[in-house]
Chain A
Amino acid sequence: MPAKGAMTTTAEVPVAPPPATAPAGVLIEAVDRTYRTRRGAVPALSGLSLRVEADEIVAVVGPSGCGKSTLLELVCDLQEPDAGRVEAGPAVYMPQRDLLLPWASALDNAALPLRIHGASRASARERARPAFAAFGLAGFEAARPAELSGGMRQRVAFLRTLLAGKPVLALDEPFASLDALTRADMQAWLAGALLREPRTVLFVTHDVEEAVVLADRVVVLSPRPGHVVAEVQVPLPRPRSRTDGAVVALRESAMRALEGRTI
């Protein structure tokens, strides 16, 4: 892995082109979503309301199966709510696993959104290439995903997400598949990347500490059917350290809100 310092101290100049549209937030009002399965109706979300301001980072934590993924898919317009209202700016979905295309180079994987928006292969590569250094990926442009470490693959996936040029990012447990050490690195890295390239971010995680380290606000969901049971503001300066007293205190209060509902 390249020097860690290089990825977090890069100049605060965006390396990905800014979103094609103006910053946009997310507004979810009294949303219900029920899945109909062979074994009957499974309510995933019930009366969920949530607002994310433009360029705000909101973390959603909740017990397993509380409809977190459903929430992201609603925001990304991959699903329709049964009731209620979802208004979101153009959003791009980043799944839990990196899901890079194994046959394509790291550069071509990152440049995929540009290709889909009509750029030629050569021009897509030229536009994606400058971001590689800032993402700690310099020298790995031609590598296949199988040749990259888990953290690097996640960074390629995040670069691909950014290059989609959308103001809203919907991240589904982006670091859940990484080992603890890499995850901590990647959290620090993501915090730096979002300082440099502000976006409206809604990310779900089951890791309360990760939520407090990264987010402006932590939203706690109830068990299924999910709705918001608590919100914890995180008015702390960045970069944040997980051992910082204020971070620990907020983590504890978010934890209490979560546990109060899981039992």
Chain B
Amino acid sequence: MGAALLVLALLAGWELYADLGGVDQFLLPAPSDVAASLWTDRGLLWANFTVTAGEVLLGIAVAVAAGVALAVAIHLSRTLRRATYPLLVASQTIPIVIVAPLLVAWLGYDLAPKLAIVGLICFFPVVVTTLDGLAGVDPDLRKLMRTLDASRLQILRHVEGPAALPALLSGAKIAVTVAVIGAVLAEQAGSSDGLGHLILQSIPQFETARSWAAVVVLAGFAIVLFGVLALAERRLVPWAHRSEGDVA
């Protein structure tokens, strides 16, 4: 409700600014022009959206799979933790915008470089939050499990794994928002379709409204993904959101 009002107010301000000639419409089209483009270019937007959406979803899947596997491995091995954590952090300082064209040249024009780029920027929040979740288990609970004769893997399976699920989902929520940016960057670095490509194409054609329409589609997609994860959280880890945990 509050969000809808805020969006309406922002749109109204933007519309007014554009209509009163505050800026050239090729630089900043009015929201009504963007809305018109959303409708008239819907076929083009949809076709490119499906490409980008595929890259984002696959990229997130790769990132979550790799991130969880890495987090579990690091959690189980102190040596691995010491060896890989600096590298993990270093991986996040890679200037993707500059490296992306190189990855395209290396991996080709198809899906591979997009997955690599989306995966690279998405796996980090997943690793860090999952690791925190795994390590955050009460030490007394670990002691209890040991006196129940639980092996390291049984503790992981019965206690640490489920306990880390809320953190993993939080990491995934961060990941989906950056995944969309990653896919667009990857497409701009070298691609013949996708919304990133469409944005890049539309600007020199003075179709600024269309590139904004593509941005709106991307934003909408990120919001939907985020919402799906929030729903998954409520379904999968209801215990993590109950505050009355200690009283009854």
- The residues of A with any CB-CB pair to B shorter than 8 Å are 73, 76-78, 91-97, 99, 101-104, 112-113, 115-117, 144-150, 152-153, 164, 166, 170
Contacts and interface: CB of A to CB of B under 8 A. Distances in A.
Leading 5 A-B pairs by shortest Cβ distance: A102-B239, A95-B140, A93-B147, A99-B141, A113-B148
Contacts of A73: 143
Interface string B39-72: 0000000000000000000000000000000000
Nearest to B149: A116
Contacts of B244: 146
Specify which of A95, A152, A153, A166 lies most central, judged by the most chain B CB atoms within 10 Å of its CB.
A95
A101 B143 contact: no
Nearest to A94: B144
B248 A116 contact: no
Interface string B155-168: 00011001000000
Contacts of B149: 113, 116-117, 164
B52 to A, nearest CB: 35
Contacts of A166: 147
Interface of B: 138, 140-141, 143-150, 154, 158-159, 162, 237, 239-240, 242, 244-245, 247-248
Contacts of B146: 76, 78, 93
Contact of A95 (B141, B158, B240, B242): B141
Contact of B147 (A76, A96, A147): A76
A146 B239 CA distance: 8
8 contacts: A76-B146, A77-B147, A93-B143, A103-B162, A116-B148, A147-B248, A153-B248, A164-B149
A175 B147 CA distance: 20
Contacts of B150: 116
B162 A148 contact: no
Given A103-B237, A147-B248, A96 B158 contact: no
A117 B150 CA distance: 8
A165 to B, nearest CB: 10
B90 to A, nearest CB: 30
The interface centre, meaning the residue of A91, A113, A116, A152 with most chain B CB atoms within 10 A of its CB, is A116
Contacts of B158: 101, 112, 115-116
A48 to B, nearest CB: 20
Nearest to B146: A78
> Which one of B146, B148, B240 has the highest number of Cβ atoms from chain A below 10 Å of its Cβ?
B148
A2 to B, nearest CB: 14
Nearest to A113: B148
